[in-house]
Structure 1
Amino acid sequence: MDFLGQLIEEKCHENLWQPVKASQNGPTFSHLLFADDLVFFARVDYINYSVIRDVLDDFCSISRQTVSEAKSRVCFSPNVDRDTRESLCDILGFASTPNLGKYPRIPIKQLDSSSQDFNSIFDRVKNKLAGWKANMLSLAGQSMLIQASLATIPAYVIQCTYFPGRILEGIDRVNHNFLWGTSDSVKKIHWVGWQKVTKPKDEGGLGL
């Protein structure tokens, strides 16, 4: 992978591979290397795509590895027309896709703040609750269970992704309902507001 990175940097230094910027004044970047995944970034240009193909061919020739065309995809910005996309995909030998999927369980490319992308996280919280019997635990036990398990499900994603308000409110609601024993069939009184439940003890809350 280090050698592949050197090949890319060499092409960038020769201005044959033009990296992209996330913002007008931000740094340029050409690639990201993960354990077993690679992400390349380049401006939409026939020379760029030919150079990317050459880099991959050189790397495969030297390392005796191959690129899985079935697992490789090209994602274009919305303003690239269809004919250009097809021509560039032909150069690379990869199919085009509007969605890069998730890594890990996080949408890689977010065009907007659609809550649909985060429904899976909300569903994981609800599904985990379905396997627990709240009436078998004390209030303190339920509180500890929420802290140790439910709160950790969105914790990783929320560090690097802006969550839509609807998803955050939904997670708080299912946690609150579980704490007081409310379900679809049983409605119980919530004796303490959720804001006070989650407020630290030194500020007068329950410290959940």
Structure 2
Amino acid sequence: MERLFHLIKIAEDHHLWKPIKLSKKGPPLSHLAFADDLILFSEASLDQAKIIKACLDNFCHSSGMKVSTEKTRIFFSKNIGWSVKNEISSSLGFQRTDDLGKYLGIKLHHERVSKRSLQSVMDHINRRLSSWKTKTLSFAGRLTLTKSVLATIPSYTMQIVLLPKQLCDDIDKSYRSFIWGQDSGKRRIHALTWETLCKPKDDGGLGLRESRKVNTAFMMKNCWALCSQPEKLWVRVVRAKYACGDESIPVVNKRSVASNFWRGICPAWVEVQPQIAWNVRDGLLIKFWIDRWLPSKTVLYKVVV
């Protein structure tokens, strides 16, 4: 695949391939490579379709590989006319689609996150539960399966979006029911509260984790990446799209129109920001009055108060 990426880079350098930008100051996006998938981005025009086809044909000729037309799809933005869509589809020989499908089991959403849109997460957990015979498992066995299998199912989704509270409650409920041996809708006595089960073992709990807190922790991790990993592509895209500024500590504000990812970042940032402080060193990058470099508040806050 390195050969294909090299061809794309050459086409970009010669201003032949026109990549997209998610914001005016954002980085250009021409391609993204995953384990088994490749996504190409470009301006929606017949000329660009010819450039893409030339790069793919060149790569196939030199590598002996072939593009699968049955698995390849073209996704157009909403403002592209039908005639242009038809011309590009015919030129490339790929079918159009309005659904980007799933990646790592997660649907690439084009709508606001809701319990209904993420029902597949709950369905996945239920399918796994239905494949186990609860009565044949000991309490320790059910606890181990909950931690090592069930709790990992929603983890990737939790890294991307903030799950609805009701969905988190339903996930935790399925954990509780399985741990206490509830089967076929028959209620079983829960010897300990869920809050107790989620306490650390040193505090008398069993080390389970509440789904909402895990989800929030993942979002907080993303917030920290916005500060500490500016070289990452997704960080550059997000910071440019939502005008986070050029400072190490980004400006994070809620927006009426924002992606599901950003809607998860904003509430988590409220928890992360008070924990961030500057390491002074030579002081060249620190704004004396408004940056937080003291153990508590900023200097300006102390003076005003």
- Aligned-partner Cα distance in 2 for 1:44–1:82: 12
Corresponding position of 1:132: 132
**Residue type of the alignment partner of 1:110:** H
1:7–1:82 distance in 2 versus 1, CA, 3 Å: same
Aligned to 1:58, the other structure's residue is in SS state: helix
TM-score (normalised: structure 1): 0.83
What is the CA distance between 1:5 and its match in structure 2?
0.8
Corresponding position of 1:144: 144
- Aligned-partner Cα distance in 2 for 1:147–1:164: 21
Q: How does 1:19-58 map to 2 (within 5 A)?
A: 19-58=19-58
Corresponding position of 1:119: 119
- Aligned-partner Cα distance in 2 for 1:81–1:38: 25
1:136–1:163 distance in 2 versus 1, CA, 3 Å: same
Post-superposition Cα deviations, 1:65-114, rounded to whole Å, max 9, x if no partner, equal 3222222110111222222211221221111001122222122x321224
Question: Which deviates further from its counterpart, 41-50 or 56-65?
Answer: 56-65
- Aligned-partner Cα distance in 2 for 1:64–1:137: 51
Q: CA RMSD for the aligned pairs?
A: 2.5
**Residue type of the alignment partner of 2:159:** Q
Corresponding position of 1:85: 85
Corresponding position of 2:12: 12
1:116–1:32 distance in 2 versus 1, CA, 3 Å: same
Corresponding position of 2:109: 110
- Aligned-partner Cα distance in 2 for 1:43–1:76: 10
What is the CA distance between 1:137 and its match in structure 2?
4.4
1:13–1:197 distance in 2 versus 1, CA, 3 Å: same
Corresponding position of 1:154: 154
**For the Cα contact (< 8 Å) 2:49–2:88, is it kept in 1?**
yes
- Aligned-partner Cα distance in 2 for 1:21–1:65: 30
- Aligned-partner Cα distance in 2 for 1:103–1:164: 20
**Residue type of the alignment partner of 2:43:** R
TM-score (normalised: structure 2): 0.60
Say which structure, 1 or 2, has more relative contact order (CA 8 Å, 6+ apart): 2
Question: Which deviates further from its counterpart, 94-103 or 78-87?
Answer: 78-87
2:178 corresponds to 1:178: yes
What is the CA distance between 1:175 and its match in structure 2?
0.7
- Aligned-partner Cα distance in 2 for 1:163–1:25: 30
What is the CA distance between 1:24 and its match in structure 2?
4.1
- Aligned-partner Cα distance in 1 for 2:67–2:193: 55
Post-superposition Cα deviations, 1:101-136, rounded to whole Å, max 9, x if no partner, equal 2222122x3212244454333222112222334344
What is the CA distance between 1:37 and its match in structure 2?
2.9
Same amino acid, percent of matched pairs:
38
- Aligned-partner Cα distance in 2 for 1:45–1:78: 14
Question: Which deviates further from its counterpart, 130-139 or 43-52?
Answer: 130-139
2:101 corresponds to 1:101: yes
- Aligned-partner Cα distance in 1 for 2:129–2:12: 50
Alignment gaps of 5+ in structure 2: 209-305
1:20–1:133 distance in 2 versus 1, CA, 3 Å: same
1:51–1:114 distance in 2 versus 1, CA, 3 Å: farther
**For the Cα contact (< 8 Å) 2:134–2:183, is it kept in 1?**
no
